[in-house]
Amino acid sequence: MSLVIDEHRQYLADTNRLTAFDRAIREVVRPGDVVLDLASGTGILGLLACRAGARRVYAIDEGGIVGLAREVARANGFADRITTIREHSTRVELPERADVLVTDQIGRLGFEEGLVEYVADARRRLLKPGARIVPAAVTLRAAPIEAPAAHDAVRFWSQPVAGFDISAVLGPAASTGYPITIASAQLLSDAVSVGCLFFADGDPPAAPIIEATVQRAGTLHGLGGWFEARLSPTVTMTNSPLASERINRRQAFLPIDRAMRVAIGDRVGITIRVVPGTLIVQWTVAVTPAHADRPADLFSNSTFNGMLLSVEDTRHGDPQSVPVLTPAGRGRQTVLALCDGRHDLSAIERQVFERHRDLFAGPAEAAAFVAEVVSRYTSAS
């Protein structure tokens, strides 16, 4: 079974998620609206928009699932109202601007699936002024938590393996956010809001220091994080472990370097900073004990430190470096040069194979190489 298809099966089988979007879309979409379905997948949000009265839906997804979405639209009688486009939304031009944007690029924390930058781009180029956006706002919530199993997985790298020191991996491992399922019993305090994005009115930066007060003694292993999305004026969707009607989506675990005992009344200062478009998240956890007999402590990590950047990667980013095409790069260059409106695909495949025989075992491998390039950078005529 295709993992992509099974991923979308899970989305569609999530009754709380689907019900929330259905209610929100019926509340937001008006008869005659043009709707933009961003990262549309199977096209379910576009189908809901059509049912709510949309005149036209532009369903955009860069994956091959758009072919299935087309069939689904046809099977439900909406082929004449849903236009599917296989491309990344930031490279799409539409024949008209949309009244409404719908998307579920929310992820686990509310931003890591590109929601901020993709909505900003759509608002600038693809939406009418004052367009309605689903979700209208997303709040990131967090709490200090006990998560011994997840923390042990991070600390694994501090121990020798087969007599070898592998501790060089510990720093990046501790600077990574992990998808986990959090139970409400793991929370050491009430959840606090550490930032909110308002998509209809701009995206103000928000990274205040928010304090949570420990309500039960335990061991602090890090932060648990999740989102609350206001889809429409009356509909909210969340993956909060505290919500009875939460959607079927895991939360995030942001570890601290070492486990720390905390007591009732201790204050935990939480800051989470996000750099949209980079997936860089920085989290700071400052623990102030309620009683002076225990020391305060400060933990700070960033997913930047968890990026697996090699010397080769840093050389590529050096402004003084002089890039030189690899043999595969020269092959791609040839493909793109031949996509000039005069050569058909079979001619391009033959010429690429002849010019770059060192790259391919045979014509079939050259054809696959050409197909990968043209599917990404060209449109069919």
The CATH number given to whatever domain includes residue 234 is 2.70.160.11
355 lies in some domain: yes
Q: Residue written as tokens 């194979």?
A: 353
Measured distance CA(146)–CA(180) in Å, rounded: 12
Query: Looking at the structure, do residues 185 and 286 belong to the same domain, yes or no?
Result: yes
Q: Could you tell me if 44 and 75 are in contact, meaning their C-beta atoms sit under 8 angstroms apart?
A: no
35 lies in some domain: yes
In the prediction, which pLDDT does 278 show?
67
Domain that holds residue 196: 138-312
Give the residue from 60, 81, 104 where a domain finishes.
104
Amino acid at 70: R
Amino acid at 136: A
Give every CB contact of residue 34 below 8 A, 6+ residues apart in sequence.
54, 55, 56, 57, 58, 96, 97, 98, 99, 100
pLDDT tens by residue, the chain, 381 residues: 468 899 889 999 999 999 999 999 999 999 999 999 999 999 999 999 999 999 999 999 999 899 999 999 999 999 999 999 999 999 999 999 999 999 998 888 887 777 888 999 999 999 999 999 999 999 999 999 999 999 999 999 999 999 999 999 999 999 999 999 999 999 999 999 988 876 655 444 445 678 999 999 999 999 999 999 999 999 999 999 999 999 999 999 999 999 999 999 999 999 988 776 667 888 999 999 998 788 889 999 988 776 655 545 556 556 777 888 889 999 999 999 999 999 999 999 999 999 999 999 899 999 999 988 888 788 765
Query: Looking at the structure, do residues 60 and 153 belong to the same domain, yes or no?
Result: no
Residue 305 DSSP label: G
Query: Looking at the structure, do residues 264 and 194 belong to the same domain, yes or no?
Result: yes
Measured distance CA(367)–CA(352) in Å, rounded: 9
Query: Looking at the structure, do residues 217 and 98 belong to the same domain, yes or no?
Result: no
60 lies in some domain: yes
Amino acid at 130: G
In the prediction, which pLDDT does 380 show?
62
Query: Looking at the structure, do residues 308 and 356 belong to the same domain, yes or no?
Result: no
Measured distance CA(174)–CA(300) in Å, rounded: 10
Give the residue from 83, 104, 125 where a domain finishes.
104
In the prediction, which pLDDT does 296 show?
87
358 lies in some domain: yes
Query: Looking at the structure, do residues 334 and 248 belong to the same domain, yes or no?
Result: no
109 lies in some domain: no
3-state secondary structure of 54: coil
172 lies in some domain: yes
In the prediction, which pLDDT does 114 show?
79
124 lies in some domain: no
CATH of residue 93's domain is: 3.40.50.150
Backbone angles phi, psi at 40, to 5 degrees: -75, -20
Query: Looking at the structure, do residues 238 and 353 belong to the same domain, yes or no?
Result: no
111 lies in some domain: no
- What's the pTM? 0.83
Q: Could you tell me if 299 and 285 are in contact, meaning their C-beta atoms sit under 8 angstroms apart?
A: yes
- Cα 133 → chain centroid: 18
Give the residue from 279, 312, 345 where a domain finishes.
312
| Dihedral over alpha carbons 185, 188, 191, 194 (to 10 degrees) | -140
Q: At CA 357, angle to CA 351 and CA 363, rounded to 5?
A: 65
Number of domains in the chain: 3
Q: At CA 281, angle to CA 238 and CA 258, rounded to 5?
A: 95
Q: Could you tell me if 131 and 99 are in contact, meaning their C-beta atoms sit under 8 angstroms apart?
A: yes
Query: Looking at the structure, do residues 273 and 331 belong to the same domain, yes or no?
Result: no
Query: Looking at the structure, do residues 284 and 345 belong to the same domain, yes or no?
Result: no
Query: Looking at the structure, do residues 142 and 23 belong to the same domain, yes or no?
Result: no
In the prediction, which pLDDT does 204 show?
45
Query: Looking at the structure, do residues 166 and 64 belong to the same domain, yes or no?
Result: no
Measured distance CA(30)–CA(28) in Å, rounded: 6
Query: Looking at the structure, do residues 251 and 223 belong to the same domain, yes or no?
Result: yes
